[in-house]
């Protein structure tokens, strides 16, 4: 992109991020989000997700600077030469997942998830799920602590902790991963095309309550069913320093 003149800064509530915000605004000024050519998010991955969700209807891309603990979606924090770094940055475009979840009260909830949609047991008993893909039942009964559907951008987050595969950006696939699967005991999940529509039906809901969660931002308790698909109409634009984009990070993560 051209050397930006209008930069909007946003920061998490952490002391380190707030100190970084004061330094950045002092050096480069502050524009309203609606006027910005680029948005700089100061914090960790959680704040980056929050910023992407909050600005999804804006044209400006988001450039993250790591003031948190993990920072997989973030660039290295440095106050020097920020306009030049932004001009040289490489852009990745990712689509979120769309979740529709029906609960025991008859309500249907909708939410977007950049990383993953997860179903989690909400009681002492393991969850019992029926799994369908594109209207065809693929697994009559999955007994587990939970299951999730992850985007490539989120494949190194909760999905990776659950021993799911790391997905390269641009691969147009999603990862379906079980957490502590009891039956089928050796089932390790599936890689599905990005166009797939995945539906979970919760079995024995009174005995085995389940909650659904989108990016740890929107949780629905006592779900009866959850339907998940990629949402191509929403395009999150993320900027990375050259050589440090998601593609490189995903590859590097597999050799540590």
Q: Is the dihedral of CA 194, 254, 241, 67 positive or negative?
A: positive
Of 221, 228, 219, residue with least CA distance to 196:
228
Q: Is 78 a catalytic residue?
A: no
Number of H helices, E strands in the chain: 5, 17
Please answer whether residues 85 and 244 qualify as being in contact, where contact means their C-beta atoms are separated by less than 8 angstroms: no
SS3 156: coil
Please answer whether residues 223 and 99 qualify as being in contact, where contact means their C-beta atoms are separated by less than 8 angstroms: no
Q: Report residue 232: phi and psi, to 5°.
A: -70, -15
Cis peptide before 97 (omega within 30 of 0): no
CA distance 126 to 182: 8
Q: CA dihedral in degrees (95, 48, 215, 154; nearest 10)?
A: 60
Q: Residues in the chain, how many?
A: 256
DSSP string, 109-175: EEEEESSEEEEEE-SSSPEEEEEEETTEEEEEEEEESEEEEE-TTTTTTHHHHTTPPP--TTS-EEE
Catalytic residue, from 2, 13, 45, 222: name it: 45
SS3 24: helix
The catalytic residues are 45
């Amino acid at each position: 992109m051209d050397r930006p003149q209008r930069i909007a800064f946003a920061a998490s509530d952490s002391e380190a991020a707030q100190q970084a915000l004061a330094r950045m605004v002092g050096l480069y000024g502050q524009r309203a989000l609606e006027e910005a050519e680029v948005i700089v998010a100061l914090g960790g991955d959680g704040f980056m997700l929050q910023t992407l969700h909050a600005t999804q209807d804006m044209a400006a891309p988001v450039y993250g600077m790591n003031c948190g603990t993990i920072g997989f979606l973030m660039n290295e924090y440095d106050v020097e030469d920020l306009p030049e770094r932004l001009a040289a940055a490489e852009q990745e475009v990712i689509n979120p997942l769309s979740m529709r979840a029906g609960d025991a009260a008859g309500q249907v909830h909708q939410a977007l998830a950049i990383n993953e949609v997860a179903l989690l047991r909400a009681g002492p008993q393991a969850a019992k799920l029926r799994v369908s893909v594109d209207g065809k039942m693929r697994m009559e009964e999955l007994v587990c602590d939970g299951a999730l559907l992850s985007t490539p951008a989120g494949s190194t987050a909760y999905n990776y902790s659950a021993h799911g595969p790391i997905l390269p950006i641009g691969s147009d696939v999603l990862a379906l991963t079980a957490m502590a699967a009891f039956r089928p005991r050796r089932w390790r999940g599936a890689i599905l095309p990005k166009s797939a529509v995945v539906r979970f039906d919760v079995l024995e809901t009174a005995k085995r309550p389940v909650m659904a969660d989108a990016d740890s931002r929107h949780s629905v308790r006592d779900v009866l069913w959850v339907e998940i698909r990629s949402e191509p109409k929403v395009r999150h634009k993320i900027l990375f320093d050259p050589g440090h984009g998601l593609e490189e990070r995903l590859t590097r993560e597999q050799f540590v």
